[in-house]
Structure 1
């Protein structure tokens, strides 16, 4: 079976990039095609992979310039990327990976993290939802054209996979996949984390500093609780704004090594996850460290967390119902009077370990490849 992996772009460290590394573990000989690649800003494991970029990637390396020139150059570059001679294309995408060209008989399996957010949920971007009427009209013109193209490109997919039950109806609404959507939850690399005998005196957030990540909600809540410490790890477009918002009990860190990040996870009181995510790897990383999660109770966490009901020793998270300071503050107070079991939490995380995900992906791809081969034999015999 000759297989290729396709990823939108590889310029950052995030959940989609971790999924691609798991794809690589499943199929280590498969080349990885992508719009552009920056070895310095993504996971170091990619340096051991056979990565091939579009012509766009020869000129654009940074995430900032990717966003600046994606329209129209990034889209054009992926449209011109023709992957010939492969039996299977395994795509990891939210936007442009599915724009590639393939041979007619190639099996295309698309792991869709969510339909192209800019096209199908533009109001999730603050700069669009807060734009004036003229700008919004211009944006809508572009979005409407992109929506048509995005849907046409999705028709090349034979089988859709996704990361959580939350995303399934979005894919069904956007693309109407004839074969339905299969959920295979992404993995956490449990070996990268450990359970500590000693827990520190701080809560932890690990996130990019973007509008929908709601890091400001956590900071505002801790501003109301100056006796509690918060460590925020990350960077992004809202960094200056968030630092100006934070009180003295909030510490910002960035550029942590894998070991330093594992130490922060292992020694935090609890991990806070305030955003609505399609999936979310970081709560599982906290669980792999034996630490409970305080999370907004919608989205992918419903696939991965065991919410506190009566017995904290059989739970992995406290979920709060609304994204406001009162709800988060109440969840933190609930956590502080609950007795979670670090070993139970770690064992739960191990059910999402990378070895499980890799096996499920291998089995799915192998099954579909054999099925198509059998169909071809039947057709040839007729």
Structure 2
């Protein structure tokens, strides 16, 4: 069985890149094909992998630029990858992994985080939501074109695997998928984090600084509360968010794994304000024994145990609306029960999603489907 791995891009340290690393650990001899790869921007473990970026690599040096030139350059560049010599192609991502060339008799499996957000949910991007007049008309033309391209290439995979029931439903609706979609939750590398016996006094956000991540909401709440807040991340909205932050808010970026583990271990609680497809960062906080203050929607419903009657058996406080008052109330509620959370229970909960379990599940899925696929070809 000759297998290739495909990932949208390797340009940052986020959940998609962690999944790609887990795929590599499941199939260590398989090469990785991607749109762009910058070793200094993503996990250092990729330096030991056989990585094949597209020709766009020569023009793009950051994740932000890669997103800006994706249409049309990224579309063309990803289609230049010729994987017709492989029996199995295992993809991960949302937008361009599915564009690579494969032979018709190959088994193609897509571990899809969600339908391509720009094509199917463009209003989640500030640039689109705030566009007006001719600019909005041009945006709509690009979005419609991307949706057509995305739908066409989304018909190629033989099997889809989703992160949650919610994202599986989105995939069925966007791509008219009639086959069953298996659910395999993405992993957290629990071994990279630890429980501290001397936590600090700050709350924590770890996120890309982009419109739909709602970090601006957290800034507004902590501007009012005056509590120490640490924000780790970068993104298209970084300058705007930083300009509104008061002196109690600190920004960090480019942290090593060890530095990030220390930041998690030192916080009081982790703030997660967005409706995320899944969200590995809340599980990273849990792996450090930290509770999460999260918006009551999306992936956290599959990974967190909200406070009900007993905080000792909970991992999170949920808030129901993405408003200043709702998040502020959740922070104040957390303060009242903060000492009742059990960091070792929270850590144990995170270990249910640990990377070795994910690797075992995805490897078994691929091998089982390949055997079924091979048997059907022999019978025909």
Corresponding residue SS for 2:225: coil
Q: How many residues align?
A: 378
Query: Alignment partner of 1:76: what SS?
Result: helix
SS at 1:337's partner residue?
helix
**2:290–2:346: 8 Å Cα contact kept in structure 1?**
yes
Q: Distance in 1 between matches of 2:377 and 2:108?
A: 16
- Aligned-pair distance for 1:345? 0.3
Moved more, 217-226 or 308-317: 217-226
Cα offset, 1:246, TM superposition: 1.4
SS of residue in 2 equivalent to 1:102: coil
After the TM superposition, which residues 316-335 of structure 1 pair with which residues of structure 2 at under 5 Å, given as runs? 316-335=315-334
Alignment-derived partner of residue 343 in structure 1: 344
| TM-score (normalised: structure 2) | 0.97
Question: Which digits, 9 at most, give the CA deviation of each residue in 1:268-296, with x for residues without a partner?
Answer: 11011111110111000000000100001
Query: 1:365 is matched with which residue?
Result: 366
Please give the alpha-carbon distance, in whole angstroms, between the structure 1 residues aligned to 2:251 and 2:11.
22
Deviation at 1:35, TM superposition (A): 1.0
Report which stretch shifted further, 76-85 or 334-343: 76-85
The one-character-per-residue Cα deviations of 1:146-178 (angstroms, maximum 9, x if unpaired) are: 212211101111000111222112101111223
Which runs of 5 or more structure 2 residues have no equivalent in the other structure?
none
**Cα shift at 1:21:** 0.3
Q: Which residue of 1 aligns with 2:288?
A: 289
Deviation at 1:321, TM superposition (A): 0.3
Offset of 1:80 from its aligned partner?
2.4
Could you tell me whether the CA contact under 8 Å between 1:231 and 1:253 is conserved in 2?
Answer: yes
> How is 1:185-264 mapped onto 2 (pairs within 5 angstroms)?
185-226=185-226, 228-264=227-263
Where do 1:1-382 residues align within 5 Å?
A: 1-226=1-226, 228-338=227-337, 339-379=340-380
- Provide the alpha-carbon RMSD of the alignment: 1.2
Question: Is the 2:10–2:36 contact (alpha carbons within 8 Å) kept by the matching residues of 1?
Answer: yes
Could you say what secondary structure the match of 1:101 adopts? coil
Instruction: Tell me the distance in 1 between the aligned counterparts of 2:121 and 2:65.
Output: 23
CA positional deviation for 1:69: 2.4
How far has the Cα of 1:340 moved from its partner? 0.6
- After superposition, what is the alpha-carbon deviation per residue over 1:210-264, rounded to whole angstroms, capped at 9, x for unaligned? 11111111111111112x2111111222222222211221112222221111111
1:131-150: CA deviation from partner (whole Å, max 9, x where unpaired): 11322222222222221221
